[in-house]
């Protein structure tokens, strides 16, 4: 019997995502001026206020207030009527030095023996139902909000949009897990005030369905486009008026959108957030590494769908173990346990090895903090960081290295594919 599966996304202007982006902007600035920085920083945003807290071990000093304000302005909170505006909000920093007890468990004389920054388990997932090996419902949810943000910035076809928004896509699958059609789409977007609520709701629904959705469809392959039918159920701003939004409407915190950040409820999640953590924290680095494994394994033809788990003890370099689940889709004559043994031979999952393989000690994290950490475009960019305490730093970095299909040939050779 066919079944429905739903995933959601939130925009860069959602309060929790504002917090994630500020935390990751701080990470990038610390790493730009001191690549060996150890950072765990959290952000809280509410009406007119930003609170920064966390632990740092670094040789650099930053103007954390300016960094936070720059992020808020870039997102689009630039008007006083939003009750949260980059140039006027208060920014309180309670960042302090990292615990020496934690640091001694991570740093080693031999860098290769660097211990894991915490205990825990991390998951990576990939499926061949989309070009980027991501679950389709989440991929579409992200795309809807990226296009909505583009329309907001263009301020031409739709002129009343404000930064806060959410989306949700429900897809009907066949018994053999193939997407059949889109059953429902939910879009809630913050907006300017209207004279009439009835006219407002009609206008927003019309614009989302006739302007936004066609722009999304135009960027998709024909086989995905045909999932959009006239039978889709649309819920557009279903609560009605959505003028009060952003941090004034709902307090935001770093790390509260971990399913949006990963696979939209497909696969599994170990529970650890990513944003605000330097790569010595395996919550982040090992989650990227397991995604890298899963994506390359599916691309190599080992299975149609793969979940990878790795686990660590704090201060210990070697993982506790690697687990593989192919959901019965394996194309090789091996058990999932045998596949896991092969994965251990191909991929060094010690924290230092992950950092080196995926180039994680670079300032590459602010880009991850909205619209998902996985399934993104691997590209090389040049970024400039400024500080009142030192000369500006311009660096060329590679983004989303964990999305590269650079291990496919090694995997094919190991599995005799």
Residues annotated within a binding site for Mg(2+): 16
Which residues are annotated as part of the binding site for L-methionine?
Answer: 55, 98, 250, 281
Yes or no: say if 141 and 172 are a contact pair by the CB < 8 Å rule. no
Binding residues for ATP: 14, 164-166, 241-242, 250, 256-257, 273, 277
Question: What is the C-alpha separation between 17 and 75, in angstroms, rounded?
Answer: 10
Q: Which two tokens stand for residue 278?
A: 């330097």
Are 219 and 377 in contact, with CB atoms under 8 Å apart? no
Question: Which pair of tokens denotes residue 290?
Answer: 């397991």
Beta pairing, strands 233-236 & 179-191? parallel
Reference 132, options 316, 350, 296, 2; nearest CA is 296
| Nearest to 375, CA basis, from 234, 214, 267, 277 | 267
SS percent in the chain: helix, strand, coil, step 5: 35, 25, 40
Spatial separation of the C-alpha atoms in residues 68 and 78, rounded to whole Å: 13
Residues at the annotated binding site? 14, 16, 42, 55, 98, 164-166, 241-242, 250, 256-257, 273, 277, 281
Tell me the helices (H) and strands (E) count for the chain, helix number first.
13, 13
- From residue 394, give the alpha-carbon distance in Å to each of 61, 111, 147, 334, 378: 17, 26, 29, 48, 20
Which candidate, 33, 68, 28, places its Cα nearest to that of 390?
Answer: 33
- Asked if 119 and 313 count as a contact pair (C-beta separation under 8 A), the reply is yes
DSSP state for residue 232 in the 8-state scheme: -
The 3 state secondary structure assigned to 122-178 is EEEEEECCCCCCCCHHHHHHHHHHHHHHHHHHHCCCCCCEEEEEEEEEEEEECCCCC
């Amino acid at each position: 019997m066919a079944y429905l599966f739903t995933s959601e996304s939130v925009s860069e202007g959602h309060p929790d995502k504002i917090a994630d982006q500020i935390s990751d902007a701080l990470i990038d600035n610390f790493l730009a001026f001191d690549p060996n920085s150890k950072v765990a920083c959290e952000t809280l945003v509410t009406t007119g206020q930003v609170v920064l807290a966390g632990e740092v071990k670094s040789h650099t000093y930053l103007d954390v207030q300016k960094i936070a304000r720059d992020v808020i302005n870039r997102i689009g909170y630039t008007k006083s009527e939003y009750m949260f505006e980059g140039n006027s909000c208060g920014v309180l920093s309670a960042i302090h030095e990292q615990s020496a007890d934690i640091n001694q468990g991570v740093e080693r004389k031999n860098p290769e023996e660097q211990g894991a920054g915490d205990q825990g388990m991390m998951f990576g997932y990939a499926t061949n139902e989309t070009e980027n090996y991501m679950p389709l419902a989440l991929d579409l949810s992200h795309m809807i909000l990226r296009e909505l943000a583009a329309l907001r910035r263009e301020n031409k076809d739709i002129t009343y949009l404000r930064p806060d928004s959410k989306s949700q896509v429900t897809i009907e699958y066949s018994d053999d897990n193939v997407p059949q059609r889109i059953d429902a789409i939910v879009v809630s977007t913050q907006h300017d005030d209207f004279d009439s609520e009835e006219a407002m709701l009609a206008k927003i629904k019309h614009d989302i369905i006739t302007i936004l959705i066609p722009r999304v469809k135009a960027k998709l392959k024909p086989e995905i486009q045909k999932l959009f039918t006239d039978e889709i159920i649309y819920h557009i701003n279903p609560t009605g008026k959505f003028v009060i939004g952003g941090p004034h409407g709902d307090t935001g915190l770093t790390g509260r959108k971990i399913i949006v950040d990963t696979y939209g409820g497909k696969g599994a999640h170990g529970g650890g957030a990513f944003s605000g953590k330097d790569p010595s924290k395996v919550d982040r680095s090992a989650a990227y590494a397991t995604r890298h494994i899963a994506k390359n394994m599916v691309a190599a033809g080992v299975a149609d769908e793969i979940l990878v788990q790795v686990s660590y003890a704090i201060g210990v370099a070697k993982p506790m173990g690697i687990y593989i689940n192919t959901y019965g889709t394996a194309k090789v004559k091996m058990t999932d346990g045998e596949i896991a043994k092969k994965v251990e031979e191909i991929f060094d999952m010690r924290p230092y090895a992950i950092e080196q393989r995926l180039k994680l000690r670079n300032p590459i994290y602010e880009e991850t903090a909205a619209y998902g950490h996985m399934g993104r475009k691997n590209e090389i960019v040049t970024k400039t960081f400024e500080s009142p305490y030192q000369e500006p730093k311009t660096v060329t970095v590679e983004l989303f290295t964990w999305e590269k299909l650079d291990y496919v040939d090694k995997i094919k050779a190991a599995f005799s594919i």
